[in-house]
Amino acid sequence: MLIEKFISKSNKEIEIHLPEKNDLENLLDFANRLIEDDNFLMFGSQKLTREEEEKYLDSLILSVQNKTVLAIFAKFNGRIIGACDIYKGRTRKAHVGTVGVTIDRDFRGDGIGKKLLSFILDNASNIGLKMACLDLFDINEEAKSLYKKYGFIEYGRLSKALLWRGKYCDEIMMYKDI
C-alpha cells in the first residue's frame, strides 16, 4: 500500500509503501542484493531462499497488523531499494523499539535512509513506543553520522562483537527518546 512519494537528492521519485504479500519476489531480490554487497548487515551473509523470505514477509505483515512492528519499503520504479522498521519490545520493554534501516548500494547517500528513518520515528508512537534503540558496526561512519543527526546517543559498545569481511569490529548500541 502506497503511503507517500518524495523526490530524492538525485531527483528520483521514490515511493514509500507498507509491506504487502505481493512484495515477496521483490523483497527476496532486495535482501539477496544486500547480502551479496555485505554492507554492515546484522542478519547474515548467506543468500535467502524464497521459503525463508516468504516466512519472514508473512510474519512481518502480521506484526504490522498487530502493531508490534512498524515497517516500510522504499521503491523506485516498482523495485524495493530500501527498508526501515522498528520492532516493539516485549513485556516490560514494550515502550522500547529496535530500529533497522537498509538501503540498496546504488541508492545510498541519496536521502532515502533519512526519509525512511524520519517516517519510522515520527510514527513510532502509533504503536506505543517512547524510545528507539539500534545497534551498528563501529566502522559504519555513514550510519553513525545519520543516527547522531537524529539525536541517537551511544550508550554502549561491545568490543570485537561483530565479524565483518574476516575482521572483528566493535558493535555500538544507541538510543533516542521519541
pLDDT band at 44 (very low <50, low <70, confident <90, very high): low
Task: Check whether 69 has a pLDDT greater than 80.
Answer: yes
Give residue 21's pLDDT: 97
pLDDT band at 37 (very low <50, low <70, confident <90, very high): confident
Q: Which among 158, 87, 141, 150 is positioned nearest to 118, based on CA atoms?
A: 150
pLDDT in tens, 4-14: 999 999 999 99
Give residue 43's pLDDT: 62
Q: Percentage of residues in the chain with pLDDT exceeding 70?
A: 96
pLDDT band at 32 (very low <50, low <70, confident <90, very high): very high
Q: Could you give the CA distance from residue 144 to residue 135 in angstroms, rounded to a whole number?
A: 10
Question: What domain range includes position 103?
Answer: 2-177
pLDDT band at 166 (very low <50, low <70, confident <90, very high): confident
Task: Check whether 59 has a pLDDT greater than 70.
Answer: yes
55: CB partners within 8 A, 6+ apart? none
DSSP string, 69-108: EEEEEEEETTEEEEEEEEEE--GGGTTEEEEEEEE-GGGT
Count structural domains, the chain: 1
Hey, is 67 helix, strand or coil? coil
Give residue 11's pLDDT: 98
Q: Could you give the CA distance from residue 25 to residue 156 in angstroms, rounded to a whole number?
A: 37
Q: What is the mean pLDDT of the chain?
A: 94
Give residue 165's pLDDT: 85
pLDDT in tens, 77-135: 999 999 999 999 999 999 999 999 999 999 999 999 999 999 999 999 999 999 999 99
| The dihedral sign for the CA sequence 4, 135, 127, 178 | negative
More confident residue, 15 or 165: 15
Q: What CATH number is associated with residue 168?
A: 3.40.630.30
Q: Could you give the CA distance from residue 146 to residue 58 in angstroms, rounded to a whole number?
A: 30
